[in-house]
């Protein structure tokens, strides 16, 4: 009876199916989560770039213009939720000694940079007597199928843009 049981192959396919399907589902879920995360990160990078670019094209920025630009963030971030997104936009000015300070800053869903505070630019970006637009976008990403393996993450994207029309962009209320 034991030898007949060992020779019987009728259920082999069912056993193989039972072993392979969980692994295939795990791979599929992982692939979907990774693709969704990459798409979200790419959308955040586009948001940081576009917000900096919109400000860099201005000759001056008023509170009304800045509100419109920051409100555009919701359209750029779509289809992701704006409530999970925070954006800081600022003009940074570097003096003749290479010290960079925040000229003005505005934010949505977070705290703006403090006007007059020092700012450390990445290595090689400090150019004396210049201004640049700084944009920092964050997104609180929660995977669709949340687990300990794919837990909540915070994506960040920073972008620097030189003013395009003038050497600096004054902010007026």
Each residue of 102-144: pLDDT tens digit? 999 999 999 999 999 999 999 889 999 999 999 999 999 888 7
* Number of domains the chain is built from: 1
pLDDT of residue 13: 74
pLDDT of residue 147: 64
- Integer CA distances (angstroms), 97 to 102, 130, 148, 163, in order: 15, 11, 48, 21
Range of the domain at 24: 2-172
pLDDT of residue 109: 92
pLDDT of residue 91: 96
pLDDT of residue 152: 81
Read off the tokens for 40.
């979200």
pLDDT of residue 32: 86
Q: Residue holding tokens 């259920």?
A: 11
Residues of the chain with pLDDT under 50: none
Element (H, E) at 36: helix 12-56
Read off the tokens for 120.
């450390």
**Cα separation of 12 and 14, whole Å?**
5
Q: Residue holding tokens 């359209």?
A: 75
Helix 63-77 with 12-56: angle, nearest 10 deg: 160
């Amino acid at each position: 009876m034991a030898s007949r049981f060992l020779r019987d192959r009728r259920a082999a396919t069912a056993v193989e199916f039972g072993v392979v399907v969980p692994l295939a589902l795990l791979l599929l879920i992982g692939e979907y989560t990774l693709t969704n995360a990459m798409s979200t990160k790419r959308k955040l990078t586009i948001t940081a770039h576009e917000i900096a670019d919109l400000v860099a094209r201005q000759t001056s920025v008023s509170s009304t213009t800045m509100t419109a630009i920051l409100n555009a963030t919701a359209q750029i971030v779509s289809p992701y939720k704006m409530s999970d997104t925070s954006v800081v936009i600022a003009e940074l000015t570097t003096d003749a000694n290479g010290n960079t300070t925040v000229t003005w800053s505005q934010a949505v869903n977070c705290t703006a940079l403090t006007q007059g505070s020092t700012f450390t630019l990445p290595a090689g970006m400090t150019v004396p007597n210049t201004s640049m637009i700084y944009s920092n976008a964050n997104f609180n990403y929660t995977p669709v199928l949340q687990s300990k393996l794919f837990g909540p993450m915070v994506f960040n994207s920073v972008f620097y843009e030189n003013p395009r029309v003038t050497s600096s962009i004054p902010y007026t209320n």
